[in-house]
Copies of this chain bind each other. A is one copy, B any other.
Amino acid sequence: MSTPVKGAELIISTLASNGVDVTFANPGTSEMHFVAALDTVPEMRGVLCLFEGVVTGAADGYARIAGKPAATLLHLGPGLANGLANLHNARRANSPVVNLVGDHATYHKRFDPPLESDIESLASPMSAWVRRCVAQDDLVADVESALDAAWGPPRRVATLIVPADLSWLEATGPSLPVGKHVLPGAYTQVQPGAVESAAKALQAPGRAALMVGGTAARRRGLDAASRVAAATGAKLLCETFPAALERGAGIPDVERLGYFAELAAIQLEGVTTLVLADAMSPVSFFAYPGKPSDLVPPGCAVYVLAAGADDAPGALEALADLVGAPQVATGAPAARPAPPTGALSAKAVAEAVGATMPEGAIVSDESNTAGIYMAGATAGCPPHDWLCLTGGAIGQGLPVATGAAIAAPGRRVVALEADGSAMYTLQSWWTQARESLDVTTVILENRRYAILELELSRVGAGAAGPVAKAMLELEPPPLDFVSLARGMGVPAERAADAEELTAMLARSFADPGPSVIVADVGRGIG
């Protein structure tokens, strides 16, 4: 105890000494003391983003790769609001995030100044934990509670609201540096009964499937799940949008459940037993008239092997042993597509990526309909991570790529972006340029919201009339992503054909720093 320091500095110090050493920030007046504290706490790296959706998405991407939380720094209710869509994705990814929101000074709120709003109401839907700091001498405890909440398990979004006066007044907390008190919460071993039930179910007559997700979509879980599948004949599936799927040559390849319920129904057809390892029970992304929401086939029994705070990889390993699985998992064979030639298409773009993607790549995938060939074309690439649109909130891809690159210097990040999706949080490129991040963005350009054209008919709205059709078109005017990226300091070019695209990708993967490559995939779906 107790050198008095300002509250903001105490908060930043406590985070840094607990291993949280990156803050993605779009600060305002109420956060100025946090910004000032970056000079006195050099262990904390501040990363400026020009829009809050980039802040929160970057924190998500960082967490998925670093395996630990970053902090955010957001300005009051409206600043938080701009970051909520990507906090939604982070929540669905079970990413640990310490979400710091500045607020008006305690005594100022009653005047209802222009920026006043109900921050708790805004934060709650996308946070597993929300607290408002109220006592100067509790700030360290508040931060440690936020860290505890973020670490879980499961990992979560924890929002800490800090009134401006608490950030600028001196607090007599523990003397600096505060020690590391908060450790990652350990996942808990599942009850033996759960493993035995799953084993029995998988070995019973009928058709079995084992679905992995979340923490089970990493190497350990995949190896074990693959061994289980080999021993039991169960079909091995992965949830539709895993937060971070480890894949590539030598790693068991898992088939992801289709986004379209029609495809998922085929994948699950005839399955009588479904075992879930940190994956939610299959449900249609949206409802469609006359179609079931629940994608579990009628009569199929569902067993939850592991969920929430359970150690899913450990449970899968126990399961593998129990079913007498082979000790070694079968990984995907090393294979790359031949470099494509000729005209660009969704297929050619996927092949170009597959032909060139370097080992250790991190793919941030928001390619949507234009990306349907990507999984196949990269399955045999050197080992890499695949980050998916966990919560379905568009605008995730570029921010997540940005945060992932901060988390993993030396690894190449590949952002696969549909043109419509790229427009939500394109400010990410500026941060990529500013921080010299090794991110290659591939814009898969089809000049419309192709997914919505499909959805329009799937929801029974019939063939689009001319007005509706125009509402799903991204031209006129055409978007020029080369110009947009250059405007934010990122080198960009447009590929004329498959050969040029392949060469551009290879060059981008070899050169340090960010780049944007635009590839026209035509107007067909996929």
Given A434-B477, A452-B29, also A472-B113 (CB < 8 A): no
Judge whether A135 is part of the interface by a CB distance below 8 angstroms.
no
Judge whether A39 is part of the interface by a CB distance below 8 angstroms.
yes
Judge whether A301 is part of the interface by a CB distance below 8 angstroms.
no
Judge whether A479 is part of the interface by a CB distance below 8 angstroms.
yes
Judge whether A33 is part of the interface by a CB distance below 8 angstroms.
yes
Residues 109-124 of A contacting B (Cβ, < 8 Å) = 111-115, 117-119, 121-122, 124
Judge whether A50 is part of the interface by a CB distance below 8 angstroms.
yes
**Structural contact, B125 and A125, CB atoms closer than 8 A:** no
Judge whether A336 is part of the interface by a CB distance below 8 angstroms.
no
Copies of the chain in the assembly: 2
Given A461-B33, A477-B489, also A118-B124 (CB < 8 A): yes
Q: In the complex, what residues of B have CB within 8 A of residue A82's CB?
A: 53, 82, 84-85, 395, 424
**Structural contact, A39 and B486, CB atoms closer than 8 A:** no
Q: In the complex, what residues of B have CB within 8 A of residue A487's CB?
A: 479-484, 487
Which A residues have a C-beta under 8 Å from some C-beta of B? 25, 27-30, 32-33, 35-36, 38-40, 42, 46, 48, 50-51, 53, 77-79, 81-82, 84-85, 88-89, 92, 104-105, 107-108, 111-115, 117-119, 121-122, 124-126, 164-165, 168, 241, 280, 283-287, 289, 293-294, 390-395, 420, 423-424, 426-427, 430, 433-434, 451-452, 455-456, 458-462, 464-468, 470-472, 474, 476-484, 486-489
Q: In the complex, what residues of B have CB within 8 A of residue A392's CB?
A: 78, 114-115
Which of B122, B287, B424, B467 sits near A122, CB closer than 8 Å? B122
Q: In the complex, what residues of B have CB within 8 A of residue A456's CB?
A: 32, 35-36
12 additional A-B residue pairs with CB within 8 Å, beyond A32-B452, A35-B472, A483-B484: A29-B285, A32-B461, A36-B465, A78-B391, A78-B393, A82-B395, A111-B284, A113-B283, A115-B391, A168-B459, A423-B430, A477-B489
**Structural contact, A25 and B471, CB atoms closer than 8 A:** yes
Q: In the complex, what residues of B have CB within 8 A of residue A483's CB?
A: 483-484, 486-487
5 contacts between A and B (CB under 8 A): A29-B458, A78-B393, A81-B88, A107-B287, A424-B427
**Structural contact, A480 and B486, CB atoms closer than 8 A:** yes
Q: In the complex, what residues of B have CB within 8 A of residue A393's CB?
A: 78-79, 81, 115
Q: How far is B164's CA from A339's CA once the two chains are assembled, in angstroms?
A: 44
Given A114-B390, A391-B115, also A50-B468 (CB < 8 A): no
Q: Which residue on chain B has the smallest CB distance to residue A111? A: B283
Q: In the complex, what residues of B have CB within 8 A of residue A108's CB?
A: 284, 286-287, 293
Q: How far is B393's CA from A286's CA once the two chains are assembled, in angstroms?
A: 32
Q: In the complex, what residues of B have CB within 8 A of residue A115's CB?
A: 88, 285-286, 391-393
Given A460-B168, A471-B27, also A125-B118 (CB < 8 A): yes
A36 → B minimal CB distance (Å): 4
**Structural contact, B113 and A285, CB atoms closer than 8 A:** yes
